[in-house]
Structure 1
Amino acid sequence: MTTASLTAGTGRTAKAGKRPTQSMTPSERRRNLTGWAFLLPAAGLILLMSFVPMFQAFLLSLKTGRGTRLRLADPLWMNYQRLVDDEIFMLTMKNTFIYLIVQVPIMLVLALILSVLLNDPRLRFKGFWRTSIFLPCAVSLVSYSLVFRTLFANDGFVNDALMWLNLIDAPVHWLSETGTARFVIILGLLWRWTGYNMVFYLAGLQNLDHATIEAARIDGASSWQTFWYVIVPQLKPMILLTAIMSTNGTLQLFDESWNLTRGGPSYTSMTMSHYLYELSFLKSPNFGYASAISYVILMLVAVLALIQMKVGDKRDA
């Protein structure tokens, strides 16, 4: 082969490999602009209502003072340094992580088991059972808190039932003792949110490849083996999603602490968000220090969500 033919071949190859650039047609440009026109208002609202306040809160966390008389702290990280020495904040963080470590795993396991049981095609009245278990998360928070406070009062139904069964000799002060107050909050969270997570798992079960379940049964796998080795791996993305949402919600927990126990006794059932609220609106307002707490909560949520995604998401790149 001659040099000229090599040169000509190389030129043809280069031209063949180069993709011609074509400008968008007027209709394509119009569709592109239409898409941006729909996106920009929503993006602008998200920026205005979420990210701008987040930035302002960060600036606020660098200030000190009471009420509206604020000035830049010296040093700027003074509020964050103060958190380490704040015994109440450390106690509320401990309480929040107790709720997270105890309640979230129990809730997700219960939700997964209930979803598998209620997905059985042979079960009668499935709609009734599903609705009954899901209904608590649709109940007003204040209403269910009042019901729980009544049930666990000193002269409430729980104490009366336990005494009638001779399990206790005297009424238990459920809401005024540290251990029992935390237990009531965990029980309330389980009652309210288990059905919510169950619905996610039910949705995931509807999209499972049932051929794999039938194959496992034909191979002689037991119900437990089918559940653990066939169903759970296919539900892994949904389990990861509910774990992240539950972690996020528990770290920001406020309602149950406020409505059920008021954080008592002596802050031993109070959550970080409840403490943040007290610093901002109940005591002498200290918005700078409260903003620092809010950013600590944000960092905890982000770090734990990232860890869960790294540990739980094993998809191939």
Structure 2
Amino acid sequence: MRRKTGTAYGFLSPYLLVFAIFWIWPIFYSFWLSFLNTRQPPYTFRPDMTWGRLFQDAAFLNAMKNTFIVLLVQVPLMIALATLMAVLLNSRLLKARGLMRFAFFAPVVVGEVAYAAVFRLMFTAERGVVNKTLESIGLPQVDWFSNPTAAMAVLMMAVTWRWAGYNAILILSGLQSIPDDVYEAATLDRVSPVRQFFHITLPLLKPVILFCIILSIIGTMQLFSEPFLITNRGGPAGATETLGLFLYRQGFTSLNFGYASAIAYTIAAIAVAIAGLNLLFGREKA
């Protein structure tokens, strides 16, 4: 038995070695860096310049505020839209359901740079199709990337477009696992479709929806590509700068790796805490 176990670990050793070098070691090393002043060598132990700076840094607090705005506004709207899309995709009245499911899932496989470029062109002030449409129906044009509120709205619309279909497919898998007998019994008891949705479908979908919420929370805490590419690196004037983008700027623009490491661990801790709260309250209500 020991010989077989040793042989198995021998075959696994190349992967375990790569995993240790490129995953385990960076995690511990970045945690150590978060206590160091890395602005100039030699690095010195100065946690007051990393962890101590976090909640005194106006730029960090602004990035946190923007991230939580996306978290509290965009994520619930996206999950609600994804649930509605899943119900429609599951309808027996829908024709070409396979094609429609692929169409809703397709945005996920589109390259981030390509879809960001399309969104930026769509909302360009003078030549964008959105402003042209507004002008054609008698509404004033909007300078989407100079107005902080408008820029945040573009950011949320882009993220929703990209990930709503992905969440809808996950929720659809949960819908298809609900037995038809449950709905047949409810129909025999003259329960309306609306009441069936709120009293049967949603409670049975709670684990899947909770899973989608947790994935969305983690994704929002790491949001980088959209503010970097669509709103021109978090513009205007930092109005759409997220924690992920702020981390990038500190680490790879300012080369302040110690402070960037502290930010990274703060982002991870916040994501774990919020996800844990969702799991806790989700189980209590179940």
TM-score (norm 2): 0.93
User: How far apart are the structure 1 equivalents of 2:259 and 2:15?
Assistant: 32
Among 172, 178, 203, the alignment partner of 2:142 is: 172
- C-alpha distance 240-63 of structure 1, shift in aligned 2 (>3 A): same
Q: Deviations over 1:226-280 (max 9, x none)?
A: 1111111111111111111000000110010100112111111100110111112
- C-alpha distance 34-314 of structure 1, shift in aligned 2 (>3 A): farther
268-277 or 62-71, which moves further after superposition?
A: 62-71
CA contact (8 A) 1:240 1:309 kept: yes
CA contact (8 A) 1:204 1:238 kept: yes
User: How far apart are the structure 2 equivalents of 1:224 and 1:243?
Assistant: 23
User: How far apart are the structure 2 equivalents of 1:215 and 1:230?
Assistant: 11
User: How far apart are the structure 2 equivalents of 1:78 and 1:161?
Assistant: 50
Q: Deviations over 1:125-164 (max 9, x none)?
A: 1122211111111111100111111110011111111011
Among 140, 157, 161, the alignment partner of 2:129 is: 157
Among 274, 278, 282, the alignment partner of 1:308 is: 278
Which amino acid letter does the alignment assign opposite residue 93 of structure 1?
A: M
Among 253, 257, 265, the alignment partner of 1:282 is: 253
The equivalent residue for 1:70 is: 43
* SS, match of residue 265 in structure 1: coil
User: How far apart are the structure 2 equivalents of 1:220 and 1:32?
Assistant: 60
- C-alpha distance 39-136 of structure 1, shift in aligned 2 (>3 A): same
Q: Deviations over 1:276-301 (max 9, x none)?
A: 11112223x11111111111101101
- Larger gyration radius, structure 1 or structure 2: 1
Among 82, 99, 108, the alignment partner of 2:53 is: 82
Which amino acid letter does the alignment assign opposite residue 164 of structure 1?
A: S
Residue 51 of structure 1 deviates from its aligned partner by: 2.6
1:61 aligns with 2:56: no
The equivalent residue for 1:209 is: 179
- C-alpha distance 32-227 of structure 1, shift in aligned 2 (>3 A): farther
Among 210, 220, 226, the alignment partner of 2:196 is: 226
1:196 aligns with 2:166: yes
Residue 32 of structure 1 deviates from its aligned partner by: 5.7
User: How far apart are the structure 2 equivalents of 1:39 and 1:220?
Assistant: 58
* SS, match of residue 44 in structure 2: strand
User: How far apart are the structure 1 equivalents of 2:35 and 2:129?
Assistant: 49
The equivalent residue for 2:239 is: 268
CA contact (8 A) 1:213 1:231 kept: no
- C-alpha distance 68-173 of structure 1, shift in aligned 2 (>3 A): farther
1:99-110 to structure 2, matched below 5 A, reads 99-110=70-81
Residue 65 of structure 1 deviates from its aligned partner by: 3.3
CA contact (8 A) 1:61 1:292 kept: yes
User: How far apart are the structure 2 equivalents of 1:314 and 1:30?
Assistant: 47
The equivalent residue for 1:245 is: 215
- C-alpha distance 269-120 of structure 1, shift in aligned 2 (>3 A): same
1:124 aligns with 2:57: no
TM-score (norm 1): 0.84
Which amino acid letter does the alignment assign opposite residue 228 of structure 2?
A: W
User: How far apart are the structure 2 equivalents of 1:134 and 1:69?
Assistant: 49
Gaps of 5+ in 2: none
Which amino acid letter does the alignment assign opposite residue 104 of structure 1?
A: V
Equivalent pairs, count: 284
- C-alpha distance 304-40 of structure 1, shift in aligned 2 (>3 A): farther
Residue 50 of structure 1 deviates from its aligned partner by: 2.1
* SS, match of residue 194 in structure 2: helix
Which amino acid letter does the alignment assign opposite residue 219 of structure 1?
A: D
User: How far apart are the structure 2 equivalents of 1:30 and 1:205?
Assistant: 47
Report the identity percentage: 38
